[in-house]
Amino acid sequence: MKKVKCAIIGSGNIGSDLMIKIMRTSEHLEMGVMVGIDPASDGLARAARLGIATTHEGIEGLRAMPEYADVQVVFDATSAKAHIANNEILQRDGKKVIDLTPAAIGPFTIPAINGDENLSEPNVNMVTCGGQATIPMVHAVARVSKRTLYGEIVASISSKSAGPGTRANIDEFTETTSKAIEQLGGAERGKAIIILNPAEPPLIMRDTVIVLSQGATQEAIEASVADMAKSVQAYVPGYRLKQKVQFEVIGDNAPVRVPGLGEVSGLKTTIFLEVEGAAHYLPAYAGNLDIMTSAALVSADRWAAQTIAAEAAQ
């Protein structure tokens, strides 16, 4: 079967996990090049052992390689700042870009919400790991509500699963995830918090989603949340509800204040999630890696399938 060659820029935790996923599970992609900037990185060493072409000279090193001509899609797992420069070069070279940083140059994409809508875009942004885990649940509440006033997410991940790139992007994480809560989740106001937990042994990824909405029954929200969990589990099997959805009625006699909206009332929904990773690179506690790389792989695989079909039809 014909496959589309890809490259990964960023040989850290996210890039390394994605590389192994592509090699083990991708239907339409095959690894072409692994790119880093640290010649001693474990990701580059592992790629070399697996027979994949590597460079430690960043994107310019990639462009100088003969393999670059065959690469059609590039995953960027570096940092928001680096992605701005990388994307400019890759767009000039006509490459499809899947952005795993919080740069948010391209449209926000979460497979369970809008997976097929952005396939033709030259740059697709995968929001953040916390966004991939939690925004589907904000959307699940919003799609059965008349009005969704507020969405807040708290993503707690093991400190060991957060590499230098993740740590350098904390501010961008909160800003990008907050915007995506509004744009994809459907909340009028969004807020995102990330916690790096240093506990030993490392704790599995846990997420809390709080949504204030109006015009939906508890039964409708519960059903929508359960359906959304199944949609995400289709590509992240370790994604699950940790306990029953919690509700609290916020009455007009005791409203809450939402910045920009003033005092509001409605139905408060609290959803507790757990994301267990597939342990392709880091152990299963690193669900934050798994959901991010799985979402990126699904998006790229769908694009590659379309590309292969279009080329065969010519």
List, by residue number, the catalytic residues. Answer: 129
> φ, ψ for residue 131 (rounded to 5)?
-65, -40
- Please tell me the distance from the alpha carbon of residue 298 to that of residue 115, in angstroms, as a whole number: 8
CB 16 within 8 A of CB 26: no
User: Which segments of the chain does DSSP mark as H helices, in order?
Assistant: 13-25, 42-49, 58-63, 80-92, 111-114, 129-142, 164-168, 170-183, 218-233, 287-313
CB 163 within 8 A of CB 14: yes
Structure tokens at 2: 């014909």
Terminal alpha carbon distance of the chain? 17
